[in-house]
Chain A
Amino acid sequence: MCTYLTEKFEIEGSGKAAKGWFSLSEATVYVDHPVHAPYAHTVNIDFLNPADGPSARVPVELTEEAALALADAIHRALAAAPPGLASAANAGK
């Protein structure tokens, strides 16, 4: 099945694709068919900068287990660091 559903949100940060590093402005998360991963459906996460064109994109295609493990690892890593250390509000500090 194609879900057609897409979670989209604004982000700040950088990513690297074939053309090198670039600034990121949005991310999408959707459960649908992967292009490369050998599964019928995966959790697909794209880090994007639409202003730089469609190729300004860092995609990953993860199994449900991998995606949930990633989410947990993000929470653990942030909990282990001083609060707000990686916050946009603390840029340059």
Chain B
Amino acid sequence: MTDAMRAETITISGHGGDEIEAYLARPLDSGSRGGVVVIHHMPGYDAATKEIVRRFAVHGYNALCPNLYSREAPGADPDDAAAAVRAAGGVPDDRLVGDVDGAARYLRALDGANGKIGVIGYCSGGRQTFLSACSLQIDAAVDCYGAFVVNEPPEGAPVTMKPILGLAPQLSCPLLGLFGAEDNFPSPEETAKLSAELDRLGKPHEFHTFDDAGHAFFAVDRPAYRPAAVVEGWKHVFEFFGTHL
């Protein structure tokens, strides 16, 4: 047993066969292991997101985060890339699914991969996680405060940000939801509607809504960070992936 890992920027084949940048972290000891696709938050493929990718490798998973802004902003600072994509209207849903599929295929092909794939996403990546889990064969999905799965976004929001509750019958795996009680997007009412629909469809899910937490409470480099919710949240994530991957 060793706790050594390797973390690096690689190129993977994403939607439409496009070559896109991605950040890979993997444990170096031998053994069969699941893979985790990390979907970065709206502010982009940044240092805090790469830290999350490495955290999964520390816990024994191969983890891979595709840079969803690779096409518009190759090599740009994450904040410049996020601003460029925001100004251009966001990431189209079909492209997102293709990029997550490419990341999952890469993880399944790694030596020692057990074939199981989890997806976790934050902020806009929470909605994109639900979208991926309803569009691809996934083994476990974690939605961290993804909005507009159920509710219509405010007037003027990008057309890429439409509700996707209608996809729920195709949800391919158990869903863990981690939300803040003080968040407005998604509000506790929105996540309750999602939970009720999944109950109706008989889709396994486990939702936790943390008091004293709003949107983006996992963001270690922002004032929204809430240590108590994060400690509890990571515990749920690793129990959930431990069960399903």
Contacts and interface: CB of A to CB of B under 8 A. Distances in A.
Interface in B70-86: 72-73, 76-77, 79-81, 83-84, 86
Interface of B: 42-43, 72-73, 76-77, 79-81, 83-84, 86-88, 90, 123-124, 147-148, 153-154, 156-158, 161, 183-185, 214-216, 222-224
B157 A53 contact: no
A53 B73 contact: yes
Interface of B is mostly: loop
Interface in A3-28: 3-6, 8, 26, 28
B83 A54 contact: yes
Interface of A: 1-6, 8, 26, 28, 30, 33, 35, 38-40, 46, 48, 50, 53-55, 57, 59
A36 B88 CA distance: 22
Contact of B157 (A4, A26, A59): A4
Nearest to B219: A33
Contacts of B79: 35, 59
Contacts of A53: 73, 76
Given A40-B223, A55-B76, A1 B215 contact: yes
A4 B153 contact: yes
B87 A48 contact: yes
